[in-house]
Chains A and B, each alone.
Chain A
């Protein structure tokens, strides 16, 4: 059954700690994305990747880092530089970056600060 898997579903971070959110897809999609969702706000793009070993900053990349070493995987690291990391993080993928292609989303990771 093809889809996007995000893990863990819930994650807690201590002050000054880096944490990594996992995103894996078996849809054979080239493009992958990370979004942040906060209450009362629309999804905001953190990073996106068009192809393996290539990624671009989105609208709110500060305090985050990503890698794309494999087509299937696009992990997101929330660094200690991100001062307000509490949010619901969504990973998505699409066949390509072309806007008419639908984005398929994972079920998210909810990150909280201890």
Chain B
């Protein structure tokens, strides 16, 4: 079982609509959580990073939230555009005895249609 679960697995929305992607994690001890956007056939690009003390962070039309108590994060996309069609990956960073470790979610595949 993946220690970083994302939902939904895929999502189709109309251009201009809003949507929210979810990320639940069980890994610990938590250090930070980052959301990446990956276009088809390209490498992931970082959107936001959330540390333990942060609840909300925005990057343009993207707003990430974090509840470290329930170990949940969300990524809200406002006024979606066709270019938002991509996979959105949640990545949790933990500190282990052996150093840093990143655990990647499987991603939510978003398609924005006219």
Contact = CB atoms under 8 A, between A and B. Distances in A.
Interface in B1-40: 2, 4, 31-32, 34
Interface string A44-64: 110000000000000000000
A102 B2 contact: no
Interface residues of B, number: 25
A6 B42 CA distance: 11
Interface residues of A, number: 22
A107 B102 contact: no
Say whether chain B's binding surface is mostly helix, strand, loop, or mixed.
strand
A108 B42 contact: yes
Nearest to A42: B104
A108 B2 contact: no
B76 interface: no
B49 interface: yes
B64 interface: no
A76 interface: no
Interface in A72-106: 90, 92, 97-100, 102-106
A41 B106 CA distance: 5
A102 B43 contact: no
A102 B49 contact: yes
Interface of B: 2, 4, 31-32, 34, 41-46, 49, 51, 89, 93-95, 99-100, 102-107
11 contacts: A4-B43, A43-B44, A44-B104, A45-B102, A98-B100, A99-B32, A100-B32, A100-B51, A107-B42, A108-B42, A110-B41
